[in-house]
Amino acid sequence: MEVFENEAKDEDLAVDVRLTNVCYPLGSAGKMIDVGTSSTGVPLITLRDGEKSIDLTYSRVKLLLFFLDPASDALLAVRNGRPVKFRRHLGGNVYLSVADFQCVNIRKWKHPSPGLDAEDKELTPTGEGISLRNSERNGFEWGQLKDAINSLMTLLPQLQSETPCYDDHQGQLSFLCCGECSPNTYQAFLTDY
């Protein structure tokens, strides 16, 4: 890995300070973490697996950081042969999930059709997202993501100071009208009223 003049380095994590461009490899299968900005200037962390990817805002990354240990506990339970149904909301329709195989999914989910009764319908996963395995054969991708997120917390001051939007909600109505906290109800408000 080349080191450029205005670049800070933390082990395998290269940060170009001028562009806030970070690339961090995950495992041996070409999975990566990219840090940059969206076309509208929103800071994003993108998890990539070849053509597949998922964009996470800094507030979603903070929630992911909060759920790292519970997801690891769920992976351990799967390894020990116990059935697991673990799914945590990161914001929008993005979820962190662990099912009955040794894999962590960070993926966008959707409702069959949005509406006021959307909360009663079953969420289904989309193709937008990635799966991270935690086995030696695959380079412990989940463990590497955990290490990378912790490294990014020290390297990106904006990420350290980010707070999830639910801290700002003044009541239930503002929570229900929030596209991050309650995305399907929010869509229903937009379409039904």
Looking at residue 7, its pLDDT comes to 38
Looking at residue 94, its pLDDT comes to 93
Hey, what amino acid is at 18? R
The verdict on residue 104 lying in a domain is yes
17 pLDDT above the threshold of 50: no
Buried b (16+ CB within 10 A) or exposed e, 46-55: ebbbeeeebb
User: Among 18-27, 50-59, 69-78, 131-140, which stretch is predicted with the lowest mean pLDDT?
Assistant: 18-27
Confidence tier at 136 by pLDDT (50, 70, 90): low
- What's the gap between Cα 19 and its chain centre? 22
How many domains, the chain?
1
The verdict on residue 2 lying in a domain is no
Residues 6+ apart with CB under 8 A from 92: 60, 108, 179, 180, 183
Residues 6+ apart with CB under 8 A from 122: 111, 112
The verdict on residue 16 lying in a domain is yes
Q: pLDDT digit string (tens) for 110-133?
A: 877 655 555 556 788 888 999 888
70 pLDDT above the threshold of 60: yes
> Taking a C-beta distance cutoff of 8 angstroms, is the pair 111, 186 a contact?
no
The verdict on residue 94 lying in a domain is yes
159 pLDDT above the threshold of 70: yes
The verdict on residue 1 lying in a domain is no
Q: Please give the C-alpha separations between residue 193 and each of 118, 170, 190, in angstroms, as whole numbers.
A: 15, 22, 6
> Taking a C-beta distance cutoff of 8 angstroms, is the pair 87, 73 a contact?
no
Task: Look at the alpha carbons of 62, 63, 64, 68 in this order and tell me if their dihedral is positive or negative.
Answer: positive
Compute the distance between CA of residue 181 and CA of residue 91 in angstroms, rounded to an integer: 6
Mean pLDDT on 96-112: 85
pTM (2 decimals)?
0.77
In eight-state DSSP terms, residue 161 is H
Compute the distance between CA of residue 125 and CA of residue 110 in angstroms, rounded to an integer: 6
In eight-state DSSP terms, residue 115 is S
Domain range holding 183? 7-192
Confidence tier at 138 by pLDDT (50, 70, 90): low
Choose the most confident range, by mean pLDDT, from 20-34, 109-123, 177-191. Answer: 20-34
The verdict on residue 72 lying in a domain is yes
Q: pLDDT digit string (tens) for 160-183?
A: 888 777 777 777 777 777 778 777
15 pLDDT above the threshold of 50: no
Mean pLDDT on 45-58: 88
Looking at residue 22, its pLDDT comes to 64
Q: Which comes out higher in pLDDT, residue 19 or 193? A: 193
